[in-house]
Every structure is written in C-alpha cells, then in structure tokens.
A and B are shown apart, each in its own frame.
Chain A
Amino acid sequence: MILATINGLPVEVPAGSTVLQAARQVAVHIPTLCKHPDLDATAACGICIVRVGGSNKMLRACCTPVESGMDITTEDPEIIHVRRTVLEMIMSKHPNECLTCGRNQNCELQTLAADFGIRNVDLDNIVPDLPLDDTTKAIVLDPRKCITCGRCIQVCQQIQDVWALSFVERGIDTRIAPAGDITLAESPCVRCGQCSAHCPTGAIVEYDNTQEVWDNLLDPDMFCVAQLAPAVRVAIGEAFGFPVGTNLTGKSYAALRRMGFNAVFDTNFGADLTIMEEATEFVKRYTTEGSVLPLITTCCPSWVDFMEKFHSDMIPNFSSCKSPQAMVGALAKTYYAEKMGLDPAKVYVVSFMPCTAKKFEIIRSKEMASSGQWDVDASLTTRELARMIKQSGINFHAVKEEQPDQMLGAYTGAGTIFGATGGVMEAALRTAYNFITGSNPTRVEFQATRGLEGIKEGSVNIAGNEVRFAVAHGLGNVETLLTRVREARDAGTEPPYHFIEVMACDGGCVGGGGQPYGVTDGLRAKRAAGLYQDDQSGLWRCSHDNPYIQAVYRDFLGEPGGEKSHHLLHTSYTARPTYKR
C-alpha cells in the first residue's frame, strides 16, 4: 500500500493506482473527458491535469501512478485556468449543434462545458467539413464531433479485435475513419455498437429509427407489435433514475401500450423458442456419430457477421437457428396473425434491443423475410426506447405494471437470462438435459456459465456423458477458443468443447452497444443480477416448460427442427469479404 496526500488529505492506495483512482477514494473530483472507467487511459485530452509537489509541471491524473509520499494538488487557480483553456480549445473544434445532436443532455463534453460555465469561446470555430457515414444503417459516424479521445479505437481494435475504426492522418487533420477511408459498411464493422456506447460525444451514435416507428404507430391501418429484449428491461431504468438493474418489465409493457402498440410481446418468448430449436439441434449432433461439434450459438448478429468475415471455416459449426427477436417476428406475422385474423402485410413488428447490430440483422438476407414480409420491421435500441417514452409524456415511475400478450409474450427464467453472458448456454443446458434424460436437472443453475470472465469453461454430466461447454464474450476473446477448436479438428482429436456460446459485447447483451451510456463491469454485473433474479422468481425455469411454447408447436410448428421451423426459424450463412473495397 502506498501513502500519499491529495489536497492535504491523506490517502492509502494499492501499488499501481493512478492519481485519479486515489482521488476518488477521498471524494475529490478531478474532471476528465477522454478517460472512460471501462477502458485504459489514452491520456489525450489534457483535462485531468494536476500538480505534484511544488513542481511547475502538470501531470495527467488518469495515467500518473501514485508514488510514496506524493503530494498532489488537484485544484489551484493555474490548474483551473489551464483546464478551461484546454476545454475551450476542444470546444473551438466542435460543432455548436447541441440542440439537434443525438447526445443532447447526455454528452460528456456538454456536461464539462456546463460545469465549467464556459459562456464564450474566444477562438475561431474551426470545425472541418467532413461527411456523415451512416452506411451501416446501424451506427452513424459524424467525424466533425470527434474529440479524438481514442476510446472507439481502443474498443474496436483491442477489445473487439474487429479493426473497423482507426485514426487516419495526423495533427489537426486527425480523424476517425475506416481503413483507408472506405465507408463503415465496406469495412469489417460488425455493427456491435461498442464504439457508440463508449463515445463521449455525438461523434458515434446509433442510427435512429424512431420516426419510422412513430409514423406506423400513428397509422390507423397498421397493427403495431412490440417485443422487449431481456437486457433492455434491466437497463431502461437508468434513463429514468432507477437503481441499476431494476427489473422494469411490467412498466415497459405498459409504456409500450400507452405509446400505441396494439400488442406487446417479449423477446424472451423467442429465447425459449430458440432453446427448443437449438437444444434439439445440439442433442442431435451430440448423439449422432460423426456430427460436427462444437455447436456454436448464433443469436448475436455481430458474432455471426464476425464469423462470416473472419472465421468462415467454422460455418459448419454454426447453429442454423435465428435469433430470438427474429423468431418472434416470423411468428408474429404467421402464427399470431393467423390466430388473430390479421393481414400480415399490415402487421408492423418493432423489437427493442440493447443492440445496434439487430438493425442490420433484420435485413441481413431474404431469409429474414420468411413470413412473406420482413419478419421484423424495425429494431430500436434501449436508448431510442428511452427517448420514445420521454416523448410520449409517460411518467415511467408512476405507470402501473401490465402483462404482455401471452401468446408470444410469456417467458421462462431460461429465456430471460439470455441477456447475460452465459445465459444462452445455461438455458440450452437445462433443456438439452431434459431432452436427453427425459427430466429436468435437479439444479437448474449452472454457475460455471455465469460471471464476467472473458472465457468461461465447464462441463455438465448428462446421463453419464460429459458435455463440455465454453462461453466467451467480447470478440477479442474468440481467437483463443477457436484456435483450440481448430487444433483439435486438424489433429482429428476430440473437440475441446461440445457447445460454445459467444456474445460480441463484453458482459453479453446487458453490455450491448445500444444500452445506456457509462457501462462498467459494475453496471454489467448489476444488470445481469437483475436478470438472474427474474429467472429465480419466475414461474417456469426451463424453456420447454413454457405452456405457450408448447402451444405454438402443438398448434402451428409441429416438431422442433421440423419443416415449418426450418422455414421460419432457421437461416443459413455464407463467407463474406472483410473489405468490400
């Protein structure tokens, strides 16, 4: 432990702590801009400068290690003066478009400018004339608003290992751009949106589809259907001041109806459906000699895109199942529409997701129109939902909880945990166990799937057979797993795992690219805890026990893995180029 003083206050910190970390311990606030609690310091902006000893120099608190006996001053007239000047410099190169910006009221630069009370920037406004890039229709890049903090680069390159974003040129011309100035859609971008989730300003925001949804809600001819993803219910509250992880399922259903949705479903139902199909798929492969193993989950569209671009040799290992939201959409326009006597062409399906990639998933291929229409018409992020709720004049705190439309809305604990990393695996194991042995496991919790370790491994004993599984989250963790699988495959030995779950986002969907800003491991854990709580207090713990799931097979689909399932609920994959130019 190291002893130092901050503004005269004694502080004791473990070796390796930064001045910023030490300051937090004694409730001293040092303003920061480019530093994100989830990421390594890039030391770019120069706002967090402090003084050490009586030195003339100023050091960055975010990356200066605390040394024994250090005497740190975080505020004095000169420090404040320099910080203000630096902030004004940054503001002089930033467009003055707060009113119409996607980060209005939620922007770290805006907050600093307000806190510092800057009324006038006495420097020329020198914003470069750079075009917007919305080619992915999921993420929008506005390089004019970039403050070159470097967070998105760190996330895209080091954490996600996708390398779509980079800095090009240098000096005052430095800007973010995909490799050599192609568009984002032509780059390896998998639309995971982690860049937008970490960006401090409006330089990277989600593609906003809310207007199209309003238009359909206001169209009397359209029957509008909403579905709510698991990870959204435990994060939407953050936009309204609820404690992190509060489960707002019932209130969300109510708000959606108030907004004008004619039916409210739950993506967790789709999750249960995915488990029925995928567990069937898994059991078939596991029990049939010579099948391709491991089976790899495919409900994450960024992961699917990543595999098709970088690891297309693993296509035979992909599950052919669509994702839960795609399945709900397909059934909404067939099963539900039939039952309700609706014209499928007039059913408008909106999924509310923690995810930016879902915007791309719903138009990924013709198979996403298996119902004869686009199965899902629009996919919106948690952030867009929050704005819609605010715009609707709904008092989210006061509104009373409601139930979903049960036909495609009732869900089990297995379905709801999909939002956490390891949740898909745990849900699948519960059902696979039942499919193989004929009864549910005595304990339905599989602790080895849970937690924030980048790669989790474990095994389950099912009727004397060992089922080995692995769970990875954050695309940077994929390489390790696939290397092991390939080595075994090439050597002709037993696969190291039978079943693998991959989620592109750190933490799984609770840490998705469309979730509220400011994500840290603490927030990921709390949001996931909300889901595991939802599971524990649920009526049914296993997907196959959901009576509404049983109904859809009995009345409509037939057998899991059957012909109708294959047409509506399954898809295919193809190798894709990493660069389209």
Chain B
Amino acid sequence: MSPTQTEEVALIAKRWKNKRGTLIMALHGLQDRYGYVPRDAAMQLGEAMDVPLARIYEVLTFYNYFRLESPGKHVVSVCLGTACYLKGAPQLLEQASKELGIKAGETSADGEHHLQVVRCVGCCGLAPVVTVNEELLAKVTPETLAAHLKAPVATENGKA
C-alpha cells in the first residue's frame, strides 16, 4: 500500500469521523477515489472510524453501489428500470454483452470495460438509457450502443 493511499484514506476518515451517520459517505469517498473499495483501505478506514471490519463488509456487500474489485476504465451501466425495460433495454444488455465479451457484473480481461445493470437512473422520458462512467446516453439503440462502445474516447455528451 503506497504512502499516498494511507494519507488519502486517513483524510477521508478524518472528514467523516466526527459526524453522525457517515459510514456510507466515507465508503463513497473511497470508491470515488479508487473506483472500488480496496480491502486494505477498508481496514484502515475501519480502524480510524472505530467501525469493525465485519460491519464494513456487511455494508459493502449489501449495497449494490459498492464494488470490491477494480472495475476497469469504463463502467457501462444499462438501465433496467420499467420504462427502459419496455423500450428494449434487455436487447441493449445483450448487445453490450456481445460487444464486450462479458456478462453483467463482470470486467473485461483487458480491464477496459465493466458491464453492470442499474435500476432506474430517473431519465424515463428518454428511455432506454445507458451510462458510460459519468456520461449518460439517451434513447439508445443496439446500433448506436455498438458504435459508442467501439469508440471508447468520450464523445460530446449526449446522443451517440
């Protein structure tokens, strides 16, 4: 564990330690910084915030948001909310799976892509929706999705 990770985790712990109801906020802090929650960071955070490691893992494995493994460079999330479902999201998931060669919940061997399902990002008027990292793609079709995945450099935000 590099010294800078120790310092970073200590800062995150310090920020949230003395406020109430902040374990999830601190874990978000770790995931925002590293893309996932590394075990050694979780151990350090637990000690700093006086939270047993068992509790931290209870929380990490309960909440969908947290990842225990590095997700790779691009996280592709296909929304499977009701509106998106009705507008063909399952086909998009299949398409993405085919393009990237991985199933939902998996990371590609080259570490470039992680594919996952999300439950309703709240853009139902623009269904179906796919997000790639922070970028939100609206009214996606299997063709536009395939094209976007083949060109991993972020395009102007919006329609692929």
Contacts and interface: CB of A to CB of B under 8 A. Distances in A.
Interface of A: 157, 163-170, 178-181, 187-188, 578-579
B39 interface: yes
Contact of A579 (B43, B58, B68): B43
B55 A170 contact: no
A369 B54 CA distance: 34
B61 interface: yes
B57 interface: yes
B58 A168 contact: yes
A180 B53 contact: yes
B61 A179 contact: no
B60 interface: yes
A579 B53 CA distance: 9
Nearest to B61: A168
Contact of A169 (B42, B53, B55, B62): B62
Nearest to B52: A163
A165 B39 CA distance: 17
A167 B58 contact: yes
A368 B8 CA distance: 44
B54 to A, nearest CB: 4
> What 8 A-B pairs have minimum CB-CB distances, sorted nearest first?
A163-B52, A180-B57, A166-B54, A179-B54, A168-B61, A163-B54, A179-B53, A166-B58
28 contacts: A157-B52, A157-B55, A163-B54, A164-B54, A166-B54, A166-B55, A167-B62, A168-B57, A168-B58, A168-B61, A168-B62, A169-B61, A169-B62, A170-B61, A170-B62, A179-B52, A179-B53, A179-B54, A179-B57, A180-B39, A180-B42, A180-B53, A180-B57, A180-B60, A180-B61, A181-B57, A187-B54, A579-B43
Interface of B: 39, 42-43, 52-58, 60-62, 68
Interface of B is mostly: helix
B62 A178 contact: no
A330 B68 CA distance: 48
A166 B43 contact: no
Contacts of A165: 54
A310 to B, nearest CB: 10
A188 B53 CA distance: 10
A179 B47 CA distance: 14
A174 to B, nearest CB: 9
Given A163-B54, A180-B42, A180-B53, 14 more contacts: A163-B53, A166-B54, A166-B58, A167-B62, A168-B57, A168-B58, A168-B61, A168-B62, A170-B62, A179-B57, A180-B39, A180-B56, A180-B57, A579-B53
A163 B55 contact: yes
Contacts of A167: 58, 62
Contacts of B60: 180
A170 B66 CA distance: 13
Contacts of A170: 61-62
Contacts of A179: 52-54, 56-57
Contacts of A166: 54-55, 57-58
A38 B38 CA distance: 38
A169 B64 CA distance: 9
Contacts of B55: 157, 163, 166
Contacts of A169: 61-62
A165 B58 CA distance: 10
B54 A178 contact: yes
Contacts of A180: 39, 42, 53, 56-57, 60-61, 68
Contacts of B42: 180
Contacts of B68: 180
A160 B52 CA distance: 13
Nearest to B46: A179
Contacts of B56: 179-180
Contacts of B57: 166, 168, 179-181
A414 B128 CA distance: 77
Contacts of A181: 57
A179 B42 CA distance: 11
A409 to B, nearest CB: 43
Nearest to A178: B54
Nearest to B51: A163
A165 B52 CA distance: 11
A445 to B, nearest CB: 40
Contacts of B54: 157, 163-166, 178-179, 187-188
Contacts of A157: 52, 54-55
A579 B54 CA distance: 10
A458 to B, nearest CB: 32
B89 to A, nearest CB: 21
Nearest to B58: A166
Q: Which of B43, B56, B58 has the most CB of A within 10 A?
A: B58
Nearest to A169: B61
A576 to B, nearest CB: 15
A578 B52 CA distance: 10
A168 B55 CA distance: 9
A365 B85 CA distance: 60
Contacts of A164: 54
B80 to A, nearest CB: 16
A169 B59 CA distance: 8
A163 B52 CA distance: 7
Q: Which of B42, B43, B52 has the most CB of A within 10 A?
A: B52
B46 to A, nearest CB: 9
Q: Which of B42, B52, B54 has the most CB of A within 10 A?
A: B54
A242 to B, nearest CB: 39
A163 B61 CA distance: 16
A181 to B, nearest CB: 8
Contacts of B62: 167-170
Contacts of B58: 166-168
Contacts of A579: 43, 53
A297 to B, nearest CB: 26
A181 B53 CA distance: 11
A179 B56 CA distance: 8
A423 B61 CA distance: 43
Q: Which of A157, A168, A179 has the most CB of B within 10 A?
A: A179
Contacts of A168: 57-58, 61-62
B86 to A, nearest CB: 24
Contacts of B39: 180
A141 B55 CA distance: 19
A157 B58 CA distance: 12
A41 B42 CA distance: 30
A222 B93 CA distance: 67
